[in-house]
Amino acid sequence: MSDFTGRTALITGSTSGIGRGIADKLAGSGARVLITGRDLERGHNAVAEIRAAGGKADFIAADLHDAASAKALAAEAVALAGEVDILVNSAGIFILGPTAALTEADFDATYNINVKALYFLVAALAPPMAERGRGAIINITTAFAEKGAVGPAIYGSSKAAVGLLTKSWAAEFGPSGVRVNEVSPGAVLTEGTQRVFGEAVHDFPNGTPANRVGTPAEIAAAVVFLASDEASYIHGASIAVDGGMAI
Ligand SMILES: NC(=O)c1ccc[n+]([C@@H]2O[C@H](COP(=O)([O-])OP(=O)(O)OC[C@H]3O[C@@H](n4cnc5c(N)ncnc54)[C@H](OP(=O)(O)O)[C@@H]3O)[C@@H](O)[C@H]2O)c1
């Protein structure tokens, strides 16, 4: 198992779901994790539970929606921890519906968190990693970034943008020792998918090889691998952890 002792990981969207699973696994492997999200209660609970399990964790409240909010989070993380060695971008929203039914507000909300804030967080944290000659950034995208379907046009396109950003940043920061990769989940059982889709979340994987929803821990396993030195030759890659949904 990888040992992240002495490294700090900032995981956006780690008050819930996939981000929380990633935080648990990184903390369990020795990393100091910085939990972040808007919900103070869930944030403080996550920190308490990780510490109770013997891990190192702190919470930074952040509502990510623009460049200023992303830069403020980066500054707080650096002020708290000194440096960020691993950045996982898991904060995101998924609003699905027929194209004409979705609103400009839906479009802006999706792109503001899924693309814009993510972009400026990387812009703030990747250069210092590059100066130190070491770092790992993992973006969480989706099987719907590659797959045409009725409903996820705004959501999938926002994550497709992140897919291209992943490759662009791998080219830009990789030569300085910063590896940038992505994990592309299929349908995963989380607080978010239960809230948005209810029991219907279990229908998404029908007919896929796995034929079931995934767990945050299954996504986290791939993220931890990409963050580790075991993945030292992997740049700009996308690992599908989707039960075969994208094939
Ligand atoms: N679950 C799936 O089936 C699935 C599949 C493919 C990809 N994904 C991707 O995986 C990521 C996590 O999904 P999930 O299912 O774990 O969702 P979730 O349970 O709803 O968790 C979303 C996280 O993002 C944070 N967040 C949302 N809006 C935010 C904002 N404006 N500012 C700061 N933080 C914000 C939430 O924190 P607060 O509520 O505390 O703000 C929460 O911690 C998303 O990027 C999603 O697109 C999920």
CATH number at residue 142: 3.40.50.720
Task: Specify if 245 maps to a domain.
Answer: no
Domain count, the chain: 1
Task: Specify if 19 maps to a domain.
Answer: yes
Contact 158 CB / ligand 1 (< 6 Å): no
Range of the domain at 114: 8-240
- Does the CA dihedral 76-190-40-44 come out positive or negative? negative
Q: Would you give the distance in Å from CA 2 to the centre of its chain?
A: 19
Atom number in ligand 1 closest to CA 185: 6
Contact 90 CB / ligand 1 (< 6 Å): yes
Task: Specify if 79 maps to a domain.
Answer: yes
pLDDT per residue, tens digit, the chain (247 aa), is: 689 999 999 999 999 999 999 999 999 999 999 999 999 999 999 999 999 999 999 999 999 999 999 999 999 999 999 999 999 999 999 999 999 999 999 999 999 999 999 999 999 999 999 999 999 999 999 999 998 999 999 999 999 999 999 999 999 999 999 999 999 999 999 999 999 999 999 999 999 999 999 999 999 999 999 999 999 999 999 999 999 998 8
Atom number in ligand 1 closest to CA 192: 20
Interatomic CA distance for residues 136 and 107, integer angstroms: 29
pLDDT confidence of residue 2? 87
- Helices (DSSP H) in the chain: which residue ranges? 17-28, 40-52, 67-81, 104-111, 118-132, 153-173, 191-197, 216-227
CA of 13 to the centre of ligand 1 (A): 5
Would residue 155 show up in a list of annotated catalytic residues for this protein? Answer: yes
Beta-carbon-side half-sphere exposure of residue 201 (alpha carbons within 13 Å): 18
pTM of the predicted model, to two decimals?
0.98
Task: Specify if 1 maps to a domain.
Answer: no
Residue minimizing CA distance to atom 42 of ligand 1: 13
